[in-house]
Structure formats: structure tokens, C-alpha cells
Structure 1
Amino acid sequence: MLDSQGCVRRPAVAAAKTADVRTSYLESRSIAALARDHRVSRGAIRTAVADLLPDRSRYAAGDHGRSAAGWAPRGTIDR
């Protein structure tokens, strides 16, 4: 399939295969392996499993995972 600039573009995950992709992802298959198996891009796999991916919005808001117990990732402790 060619895009508007004449480049080859891999198709999206077919609707009939989405459930298989999601199940495989939940069984710890990597995004790259799923993309190879289904002959689609990693972006297509990420789109198919988007609601299963870790939520990254809290990082954009400045919450970097500090818990109530005071744990913080290396190098982020305020002194």
C-alpha cells in the first residue's frame, strides 16, 4: 500500500485480528514480535492495544511515580 508520498506503508491491524493481538499482548508478546507476526507496523499494534498500555499522562502532569512512602526514582529525591 502506498501513502500520499509514494512510500510503502504497512496496513493497520484487521478488525478480525484485533482480539488475537490484544490477547497475545496480554500474554507478554512484545509489540515488535506482534508487528512481525501480523505484518503491520509497531504503531498499528500500539493502536490496537492502546488502552492496555501503561498510562503515560501522569508523567506529563509532573507526577513521576512518587508513592506515599516517599520512594522516588533514582536522582529525583529533593534534598
Structure 2
Amino acid sequence: MMTRVSLKNVLSAVINQGAAEARAWIFGHQLNPAGNKTPHKILRMKLFGEKVAQWYPHDIKKDDPLVMARQEQDLVV
């Protein structure tokens, strides 16, 4: 038996797909009809590298007396 697809169902599917594409374009969303995992959510996240960098001292070399002594010897020679 052959399944019959009505013109109404086909048009409805096309209109819904077009509406989804238009909505994604207007609001800047990504279409993912297959539901596959994408990195888009991670890439849209606010960068936090500068916040993490604030947790650490600005120059670790200055905290180590051996490194500072070695640099002073290099300057003298």
C-alpha cells in the first residue's frame, strides 16, 4: 500500500522549516535539526581567561630568589 502525503502536510512542513530558519537568522541561533552536539554553546560563553589570570601573581619569577640572583649575575657579566 502506498502512503499518501497530502499537499497540506507538505506545505505545513515547508512553512515550519522556513519559519525556523527565519527565527534562527533573526535571533542569531544555530539550526540543529538532527540534534547533534555542537561546540556553539561553549563558543558563545563569555571568556574568563583574564579573571583566572588575576588569581595568580603578575610575575612568578620575582617571587623566586634564585631566579632573581641569576638575573642579577647575568646583568653584571
Under TM normalisation by the shorter chain, which class is it? Answer: under 0.3
**Which structure has the larger Rg?**
2
TM-score by length of 2: 0.21
Larger % of helix: which? Answer: 2
